[in-house]
C-alpha cells in the first residue's frame, strides 16, 4: 500500500499505479493465506493490528485518485456558515465570501473557477453525509484540508472491522474472515487515503443488518434509513433484512428518511435532489455506457430493463428464501448482482460489497471490487472504458460463478458420502 499511495495521481502514474494496485492485491492474497497459520485465539488482534497499520500508511499522503473530498470540505464549510448545502452551487455569487485560494485558486478567483467537481451543480450528497461533513468541519483545526476527512474515514474503516469481528465471533465463525475487509487494498485506499464518505454508509449498513439478524426490526430500520441517507447504495441490503416484521422495519426506515430530509425540504423544496438526476443520466445508467455485459447480447435500450428484471428476480428470491438469522448472505447476493450487471466505474462504491463478502465468507466477491479499478483508470491508461468494463467485470463474474459451482459441487459430494457407521464388536460378550 505504501507504493500505491505514494506513486502519484492516475494521470501521472498511469500504468505504474495499476501495477502497484495489482501487487497490492497479490500481497493481500498472500497475507490472507499466511493468516491461516495464526492461532484462532490470536487472529482478531492480528487482523485489527494489521488494519491499523494499513490505515496509518494510507494517511501519509493526501487523496491520490479522487477529488470528491473537495466537495465534502465545501459542503461542510457552507453548512457551518448557516446555509443549506442544497441551496446554491459552489460557483454561485452568494457563496463568494466562503472561497479560499485552496478550493478557488487565486489566478481565477474572479471567474470563480474551482477545484471542486461539478461546480455549477448543487450537491448530490444526502443529509446524513452532509451531517458528517459539517461535523468533521466543526472538529477540524482552522486551515486543515483533507487530513480530518481522511482520519474520519480511517476510523470508520476500523469501526467496520470491529463490527465484523464481533459479528463473526457471536456467530461462532472464524475471526480471520474480517481480514477480507480490513486488509483489502480497496478498503484501505478508498477510506484512509481517498476519504470517501461511502464507508460511513458501510458502517450503518452492517450495523443495520446485525440488528435485523437479532430481530430488532425497528432499530434495524432506523439504522438502515441512516445508511441510505449517506449514499443510496446501502438500500441494496434492505431486501435481505425484511424477513422478520417487514412492515415495522420499512416504516422505521421511511420515518428516518423523512426526519433527516424534512429540514432541507422546508429550506429548499425539491432542491434536495441536488445533482442526483443529472448524475444518473451523466453516468449512463439509462443504457449508454453501463450494463456492459448485458449489452453484449441486448440493445442499449433493453439492457437497463433486463438488468432491472434480473435484479428484481434476485431480490424476490432473497426476500422469500433468505435466512433471517444471516441477512448478510442475501444482501451480498443482491448487492453483488447489481454491481456485476451495472459495472460501476468507481471503486469506492464496492466498499459495501467487500464488507458483505467478509461477513458471508465469500472471498470470490472481492474480485468484483478489484474489477472497478481498470474501469476507473481506463481514461488515464488510454483504454476504451466500455471494453474495459466488459472484460474486467466479465472476468470477475466468472470468478464468482466458478467459486459458486465449486461450492455446490463440494456440498453435493459431501452429501453423497454415507456417514461413518458405528463400529460393532465381533467378540462374544463376557459375563459381568
Range in 62-71, 186-195, 247-256, 422-431 with the lowest mean pLDDT: 422-431
How high is the pLDDT of residue 359? 96
298, 392 contact by CB (below 8 A): no
Q: How far apart are CA 238 and CA 250, in angstroms?
A: 9
pLDDT in tens, 306-330: 999 999 999 999 999 999 999 999 9
Q: How far apart are CA 384 and CA 219, in angstroms?
A: 45
How far CA 113 is from CA of 11, 100, 121, 139, 428, in Å, comes to: 21, 11, 13, 28, 98
How high is the pLDDT of residue 248? 96
pLDDT in tens, 281-315: 665 555 566 888 999 999 888 999 999 999 999 99
How high is the pLDDT of residue 341? 95
How far CA 204 is from CA of 21, 195, 246, 422, in Å, comes to: 28, 17, 18, 49
N- to C-terminal Cα separation, the chain: 71
Give the cell for residue 69.
Answer: 473530498
In three-state secondary structure terms, 69 is: helix
340, 397 contact by CB (below 8 A): yes
Q: How far apart are CA 74 and CA 137, in angstroms?
A: 9
State the total domains in the chain: 1
Would you say residue 350 has pLDDT above 80? yes
Look at residue 393 and tell me if it is in a domain: yes
Would you say residue 428 has pLDDT above 50? no
118, 75 contact by CB (below 8 A): no
Look at residue 243 and tell me if it is in a domain: yes
Look at residue 422 and tell me if it is in a domain: no
How high is the pLDDT of residue 58? 96
Look at residue 329 and tell me if it is in a domain: yes
Question: What average pLDDT does this structure show over 127-134?
Answer: 97
Look at residue 117 and tell me if it is in a domain: no
Q: Give the count of alpha carbons within 13 A of 144, CB side only.
A: 15
Q: How far apart are CA 92 and CA 120, in angstroms?
A: 8
Q: How far apart are CA 154 and CA 400, in angstroms?
A: 29
How high is the pLDDT of residue 416? 76
Q: Could you tell me the residue range of the domain that residue 73 belongs to?
A: 2-87+122-411
Give the cell for residue 77.
Answer: 464549510
Distance of CA 272 to the CA centre of its chain: 23
> How much of the chain exceeds pLDDT 90, in percent?
75
Q: Which of 432, 359, 371, 346 is nearest to 21 (CA)?
A: 371
Residue 45 per-residue DSSP state? H
Q: How far apart are CA 413 and CA 403, in angstroms?
A: 15
* DSSP run (H or E) holding 308: helix 303-321
Amino acid at each position: 500500500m505504501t507504493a500505491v499511495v505514494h506513486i502519484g495521481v492516475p494521470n501521472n502514474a498511469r500504468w505504474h499505479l495499476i501495477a502497484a494496485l495489482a501487487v497490492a492485491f497479490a500481497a493481500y492474497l498472500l497475507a490472507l493465506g499466511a493468516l491461516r497459520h495464526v492461532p484462532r485465539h490470536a487472529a482478531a488482534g492480528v487482523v485489527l493490528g494489521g488494519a491499523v497499520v494499513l490505515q496509518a500508511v494510507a494517511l501519509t499522503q493526501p487523496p491520490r485518485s479522487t477529488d470528491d473530498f473537495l466537495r465534502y470540505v465545501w459542503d461542510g464549510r457552507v453548512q457551518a456558515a448557516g446555509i443549506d448545502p442544497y441551496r446554491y452551487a459552489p460557483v454561485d455569487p452568494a457563496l463568494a465570501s466562503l472561497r479560499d485560494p485552496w478550493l478557488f485558486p487565486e489566478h481565477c478567483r474572479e471567474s470563480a473557477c474551482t477545484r471542486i467537481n461539478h461546480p455549477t451543480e448543487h450537491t448530490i450528497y444526502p443529509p446524513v453525509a452532509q451531517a458528517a461533513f459539517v461535523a468533521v468541519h466543526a472538529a477540524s483545526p482552522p486551515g486543515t484540508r483533507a487530513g480530518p476527512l481522511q482520519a474520519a474515514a480511517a476510523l470508520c474503516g476500523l469501526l467496520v472491522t470491529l463490527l465484523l469481528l464481533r459479528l463473526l465471533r457471536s456467530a461462532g465463525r472464524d475471526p480471520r474472515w474480517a481480514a477480507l475487509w480490513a486488509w483489502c487494498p480497496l478498503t484501505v485506499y478508498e477510506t484512509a487515503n481517498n476519504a470517501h464518505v461511502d464507508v460511513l454508509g458501510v458502517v450503518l449498513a452492517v450495523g443495520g443488518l446485525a440488528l435485523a439478524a437479532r430481530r430488532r426490526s425497528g432499530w434495524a430500520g432506523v439504522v438502515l434509513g441512516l445508511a441510505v441517507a449517506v449514499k443510496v447504495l446501502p438500500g441494496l441490503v434492505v431486501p435481505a433484512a425484511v424477513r422478520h416484521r417487514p412492515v415495522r422495519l420499512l416504516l422505521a426506515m421511511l420515518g428516518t428518511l423523512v426526519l433527516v430530509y424534512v429540514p432541507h425540504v422546508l429550506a429548499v423544496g425539491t432542491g434536495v435532489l441536488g445533482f442526483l438526476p443529472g448524475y444518473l443520466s451523466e453516468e449512463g445508467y439509462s443504457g449508454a455506457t453501463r450494463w456492459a455485459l448485458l449489452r453484449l447480447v441486448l440493445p442499449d435500450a433493453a439492457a437497463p430493463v433486463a438488468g432491472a428484471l434480473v435484479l428484481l428476480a434476485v431480490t424476490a428470491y432473497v426476500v422469500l428464501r433468505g435466512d433471517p438469522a444471516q441477512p448478510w448472505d442475501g444482501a451480498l447476493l443482491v448487492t453483488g448482482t447489481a454491481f456485476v450487471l451495472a459495472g460501476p466505474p468507481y471503486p469506492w462504491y464496492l466498499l459495501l460489497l467487500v464488507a458483505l463478502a467478509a461477513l458471508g465468507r465469500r472471498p470470490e466477491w472481492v474480485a468484483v471490487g478489484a474489477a472497478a479499478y481498470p474501469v476507473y483508470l481506463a481514461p488515464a491508461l488510454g483504454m476504451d472504458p466500455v471494453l474495459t468494463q466488459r472484460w474486467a467485470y466479465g472476468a470477475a463474474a466468472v470468478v464468482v460463478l466458478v467459486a459458486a459451482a465449486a461450492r455446490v459441487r463440494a456440498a453435493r459430494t459431501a452429501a453423497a458420502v454415507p456417514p461413518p457407521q458405528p463400529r460393532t464388536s465381533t467378540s462374544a460378550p463376557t459375563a459381568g
